[in-house]
Amino acid sequence: MCRVPFEPLSYQDFPESRETSAGMRSVPMDPHAVGVEFFPDVVYARRDGLPLHLQIFVPVMHQQEERCWPLVVYVQGSAWRKQEIHRHMAPLERIAARGYAVAVVEYRPSDVAPFPAQVQDAKTAIRFLRKEAAAYRIDPERVAVMGDSSGGHTAVLVGLTAGQPLLDTPDLGEFSCAVRCVVDLYGPTDISRMCQRPSTMDHVSPASPEGRLIGGYDVLQHPDRVAPTVAMRYVGTAPLPPFLILHGNKDRLVPFHQSLLLYEALRDAGHEALFYRVEGADHGGPAFFAENVLSIVCDFLGRAMK
């Protein structure tokens, strides 16, 4: 019996097989192809009796196993309730295939912990990912935060307050939660003004998503509880990362006006902000991961995280 000896050769030194057979075809390997490796259910913290998880996608390229990638921390929207954490996994994998590590953050739902728990959790997740950057081939100097709907609200507040001792915890405090840019997909920005525009959802009562966010109170009757949740409150003259805002002008749940408020506050304070009205788009859906919108997002990320 003949045995082929095992030799620990490098890829470069390993011989190509030139064997062939009638009818066999060849196709060239694309050395620039990007694959995606998936790390599911990574626990980054335990709070209020709950393990909080990350779903992490990391790009992979041929012969570049140690390459580090810029990171997009994605906060999945849920009306601040329990998230369907896998809802946008397929389109987020497409972002990873463009050369970004992507980590989907699970936060505490509002019926377990009201505001600011969701922002605190997202900041802790960013710190955890910086701490574990080497394990997941992340470039800790190039981190962005992105979110949709209530996750957009959370992402915006992370970007606005990362350099301040606000809406935060001391956990992993030796690591920064600062980000290079923020992508906000149709997020609320002032919950007390959502009822000022047409909507198909209750935004005021104690049982509404906004009421539950502030602990189960009527939004209009408790301005003191609402105030810390309002994004524009944190827009000042101190330096901020650039913002990309996208919102459909037929959004039935979060009025388009909410993104307009944030954009105008950022613009008027002299901060860098891009705002796209997605014509005819409702609250989320395929329009926000269509190729034209995805290209806008990835171009923005590329410029901000050079």
Q: Is residue 89 domain-resident?
A: yes
Q: Is residue 12 domain-resident?
A: no
Q: Is residue 24 domain-resident?
A: no
Total count of domains within the chain: 1
How would residue 1 be classed by pLDDT, with cut points 50, 70 and 90? low
Q: Is residue 6 domain-resident?
A: no
**C-beta of residue 287 within 8 angstroms of C-beta of residue 256:** no
DSSP for 177-188?
---SEEEEES--
4 pLDDT higher than 80: no
Please say whether the dihedral angle defined by the alpha carbons of residues 86, 296, 138 and 177, taken in this order, is positive or negative: negative
Region 54-81 average pLDDT: 94
pLDDT in tens, 278-301: 999 999 999 999 999 999 999 999
Helix or strand (DSSP H, E) at 293 = helix 291-304
Q: Is residue 128 domain-resident?
A: yes
What's the CATH number where 284 sits?
3.40.50.1820
Rounded to two decimals, the pTM is: 0.94
Whole domain around residue 219: which residue ranges?
34-304
Write down the pLDDT at residue 2.
67
pLDDT in tens, 6-16: 778 888 888 99
CA angle 212, 214, 220 (to 5 degrees): 95
